[in-house]
Amino acid sequence: MYNQTLTIRPPLDYSYYSFELLGLKRLYPSTRFVFDRLLFPEIGYRYLSFVLPGGRKVVIDSTDDAECNSSGLAWCDVYAKQNLDPVLIDGRDRRKLICIGPSFPVCDWGLVRSWARALADYWTCRNEISDARRHFSSYLTPVRHRVREEDYRPSESSAEYIFFAAPLWPNEPLCNRSRADFMAACKDLAPGVQVEVGFTPRSFLPVQGFEDLLLPRRYTLREYLERTRRSAVAFNTPAVLDCHSWRLGEYLALGKAIISTPLARALPAPLEHGKAVHFVDGSRQSLTDALDRLLRDHDYRRQLERGARRYYDAHVAPEKTIERILAAIS
């Protein structure tokens, strides 16, 4: 029996916020979730805003850019930002801001619930929804193409296999170049290592200059996860607008030995070099040296794998994200 109500503002981008909604469900298992716009300012679907039992107001911002929504910031008691750059925030609002870790879409709602929620939100919020196709896709993509958060679990990696597949971004030359340099460093490894790396083909948003690194096809998520689990290493670099990409959250959940260029955005706790990640400066030599060490030094690789999953369990998991918000309120 429900004895409390948690009110969420519709519409929302469920692909972006399925992770945090799962955290709310885990921490409020006996709470009734209500979707109602009346308690909220007009801040749009790109944010997850809700009123907790007891009346405290929260905005979660998982957008790629470092800016905060001014209306949401003025309205809420806590503004949880995934790609936080504190330098851009006015001092009077700093007390409301907290940093949360990277997330990724998960499949939690079933098809019937997702359709029902998408239709209900479209009917009540249709004057606000400018792109109906995107609206329905945001609710249905996690059901059709994502897996449960519980499916992101570590498994045995192989020092004889490296996998990395990533998209090209038309306005992110540094991200594209960093990924291409990592792929090239992988291809220079000894013949005994099976290397499966490249850019995933996209008919839209084409980017020139990387034709020799294009993969022959796109992978399903299950194929991507199976190969990533088996891979000796994972590679991370800031993505669109210097944001934390979904893959950083995925790598931490999967307990991967992560090679990463310096991060541009804050995290809820430091990712320590040599414990939960191996940082490089991005040069070809730094990438080659990192690959060489992680393929040779099995103990070091396993140390990074365990450290990555510990970091996820302590700071990134859906319920830990919500716990961090609740701690900021109390």
- Tens-binned pLDDT, residue by residue, of the chain (330 aa): 456 899 999 999 999 999 999 999 999 999 999 999 999 998 988 999 999 999 999 999 999 999 899 999 999 999 999 999 867 655 656 789 999 999 999 999 999 999 999 999 999 999 899 999 999 999 999 999 999 999 999 999 999 999 999 999 999 999 999 999 999 999 999 889 999 999 998 766 667 889 899 999 999 999 999 999 999 999 999 999 999 999 999 999 999 999 999 999 999 999 999 999 999 999 999 999 999 999 999 999 999 999 999 999 999 999 999 999 999 997
Displacement of CA 136 from its chain's centroid (Å): 20
**pLDDT, position 207:** 76
Q: What are 99's two structure tokens? A: 């940093």
Q: Are residues 130 and 181 in the same domain?
A: no
Q: Are residues 177 and 311 in the same domain?
A: yes
Rounded distance between C-alpha atoms, residue 295 and residue 186, angstroms: 11
The verdict on residue 190 lying in a domain is yes
Residue 178, domain extent: 161-316
**pLDDT, position 1:** 40
Number of domains the chain is built from:
2
Q: How far is CA 67 from CA 197, 269, 277, in A?
A: 33, 20, 27
The verdict on residue 18 lying in a domain is yes
Q: Tell me the pairing of strands 48-51 and 97-99.
A: unpaired
Q: Are residues 35 and 174 in the same domain?
A: no
Domain boundary, last residue among 145, 169, 202: 145
Q: Are residues 212 and 286 in the same domain?
A: yes
CATH number at residue 227: 3.40.50.2000
The verdict on residue 118 lying in a domain is yes
**pLDDT, position 193:** 96
The verdict on residue 229 lying in a domain is yes
Residue 219 per-residue DSSP state? P
The predicted-structure confidence for 222-272, as pLDDT tens digits, reads as follows 999 999 999 999 999 999 999 999 999 999 999 999 999 999 999 999 999
User: Residues with Cβ < 8 Å from 319, sequence gap 6 or more?
Assistant: 23, 26, 27
End-to-end CA distance of the chain: 26
Q: Are 59 and 75 within 8 A, CB to CB?
A: yes
The verdict on residue 195 lying in a domain is yes
The verdict on residue 234 lying in a domain is yes
